[in-house]
Structure 1
Amino acid sequence: MVNILRNIAFATALAAAGLAAPAAADGIMDEPLPRFEDRLCPGIIGLDREYAELMVTRLRENADALGLRLASEEACEANVVIAFVEDSREYLAEMMDQRGYLFNDMTPFQRRQLLESADASGVWHQVAARTRDGIRVGRRENLAQVPTAGMWQAHSRIYRPVRHDITYALVLLDRDEARGLTLRQLADYATLRALATEFPADAGEAEASMLTLFEHAEKPAELTAFDRAWLERLYAGLPNIPASTRMQGVEVAEGD
């Protein structure tokens, strides 16, 4: 199995590239939603090896079912890390305090929003802007020098010249809140939160979703039909499709 399940030095991996805030659909600035394009390598921190291996197996099964590419289990550097910690919010706050440079591309508001959203779990994505062909678009260092990249591209309202790749996902799970949940539930929740940064408005409200795992007494046993439909929609087709197009009507197959 993956040889990094217990002691992953993910701080180095986080520092290796710049952090970009998740893209959001906003009228004219309708950017593509972030998603993984690199091969996935899941790893677990803070769990006994036997259970960690079972979780990794489930994570890989979920990714494979979506048609995502997987790195070799024997030799890969984790880019999807699930860490069991005492307090997710406190952990993120310490990261911001001790490794503030990792959050340079986030506004103060986005940092506060990230901390406020962390409760029984916390999720942080490292996102990089790349051209349609996968060429890295450097990150902005100031207001005067804007990153640019050249390529052949016909004008289109259907596709965007730049895509947003998730290069690293960290899912923090509070140990106390995780007690009593099955490994399948935890792995499926982590799958959903790691692979997507945005969700349709009715996720967890009108539609049953793993997003409610730590909120409702009636907890889904695994990824719901809606969760799978959304992930399939997110990872279908080209990565540079505008968010508004991607978000349109996620259909759940009848009988699911």
Structure 2
Amino acid sequence: MSGEITDEITVIGQKKREAAEKLGKTITRPSRDGKPVGRFDAPICVIVSGLPADMAEIIKARIEENIRNLKVLDVAEAGCNPNAFVGAIDNVNDTVDQLREREKWLFEGLLSFQIDRIYKGSHDVRAWHVFDIRNLDGSIIPARREGGGHPGDHNDVVNNVEKASRTMQLRTNLAGAVVLIEATALQGKTLRQLSDYATMRLLASTNDEVTDDSASLPTILTLFNGKSAPDSLTQFDRAYLSALYELPANSRDGQIFTAAASRYINNQKAIASE
């Protein structure tokens, strides 16, 4: 193989990596205060509503198949308490209002700007998560009284150092996930597309506005924001979920999309060699 061809392959590979890292950064909703990226730890109990029973069952089964394919997540047994909700409804904002009254736990710990972000959504979709900050081993963090020093004094510096150290020993569990889709937006979408879109929004805390223009590679997340969405989870989508759930539980945003890019490139190479 000549040097020019080798250089060209290297450049193409680098461009693909850059595109994958860019998309990872685009879709990842930044964690607050440098905390680890949120992900499910407990078995996932999916419920799909607002559709005919046979269609809802197909979507549920596909989401569960995607979960099992990750190898590190479990699907909850029959009769479980749902912690992953997918709904096709009329007027998504009205439904958010109703849930805030009837299912307050679905908004527990969310700040006002996060509530506002839910209502803004991505035109036809409202999606959010309930977060549960735990010790890295999964144990509950005991309540403690914050230290009293004044800003700028020695105690404040020590507290900041301790806070950074503690953050490295934390994990962010997803205790619940909700994806609400405007019923009128379902037209023209396949059940596989809906299932795979819901999978991404349930399993990962992603940004709402992922469009054709902002997506540097194909992703199912453009389903409601683009003109031509993929038929299913893309190679990048699968690489992203794999990175999210296989990396250590205290991984940060940048670690996730860097690892996702590596997985994507490796998968591309494997396919090319077949």
Q: Per the shorter chain, which TM-score range?
A: 0.7 to 0.9
SS of residue in 2 equivalent to 1:248: helix
Shift of 1:33: 0.3
CA deviations on 1:189-209 (whole Å, 9 max, x unpaired) are: 00000000036x988510111
Contact 1:36 1:166 (C-alpha < 8 Å) held by counterparts: yes
What CA distance in whole angstroms lies between the structure 2 residues aligned with 1:225 and 1:156?
A: 35
Query: Which structure has the greater CA radius of gyration?
Result: 2
- Corresponding residue for residue 174 of structure 1: 182
Identity %, equivalent residues: 26
Residues 230 and 139 (structure 1), Cα distance of their counterparts in 2 relative to 1, 3 Å cut? farther
User: 1:126-150, CA deviations, whole angstroms, 9 ceiling, x for partnerless residues?
Assistant: 110111111123689x9889xxxxx
Within 5 Å, give how 1:203-214 maps onto structure 2. 205-214=215-224
Once the two structures are superposed, the pairs formed by residues 195-206 of structure 1 within 5 Å of their partners are: 195-198=203-206, 205-206=215-216
Higher normalized helix content (fraction of residues): 2
Match of 1:51 in 2: 55
Equivalent residue, structure 2, for 1:10: none
Contact 2:210 2:221 in 1 (8 A): no
1:116-155 residue pairs with structure 2 within 5 A? 116-137=120-141
* 1:36/1:165 contact within 8 Å kept: yes
With the length of structure 1 as denominator, give the TM-score of the two structures: 0.75
Q: For residues 73-119 of structure 1, what are the alpha-carbon distances to aligned partners after superposition, in whole Å with 9 as ceiling and x for unaligned?
A: x3222111111110223322443466667535222222212211242
State whether structure 2 residue 45 is matched by structure 1 residue 41.
yes
Segments of structure 1 that go 5 or more residues without pairing to the other structure are: 1-21, 146-154
What amino acid maps onto 1:134 in structure 2? G
Q: Gaps spanning 5+ residues in structure 2: where? A: 1-27, 149-162
The one of 205, 221, 227 aligned to 2:237: 227
User: Contact 1:23 / 1:164 at 8 angstroms: preserved in 2?
Assistant: no
Contact 2:210 2:222 in 1 (8 A): no
- What does residue 67 of structure 2 align with? 63
CA distance in 2, matches of 1:99, 1:192: 23
Matched residue count:
221
TM-score scaled by structure 2?
0.70
**Are 1:191 and 2:196 an aligned pair?**
no
Q: Structure 1, residues 168-222: CA drift from partner, whole Å, max 9, x if none?
A: 11110111001221111100000000000036x9885101111110122212100
Written as runs of structure 1 = structure 2, the 5 A alignment for 1:93-112 is: 93-96=97-100, 103=107, 105-112=109-116
- CA separation in 2, counterparts of 1:106 and 1:144? 24
Do the aligned partners of residues 115 and 139 (structure 1) sit closer, same or farther apart at CA in structure 2, a change above 3 Å counting? farther
Q: 1:69 is paired with a residue of what secondary structure?
A: coil
**Counterpart Cα distance in 1 of 2:39 and 2:241:** 10
How do 1:1-12 and structure 2 match up within 5 A? none
In 2: Cα distance, 1:64 partner to 1:235 partner: 12
| Map of 1:240 onto structure 2 | 250
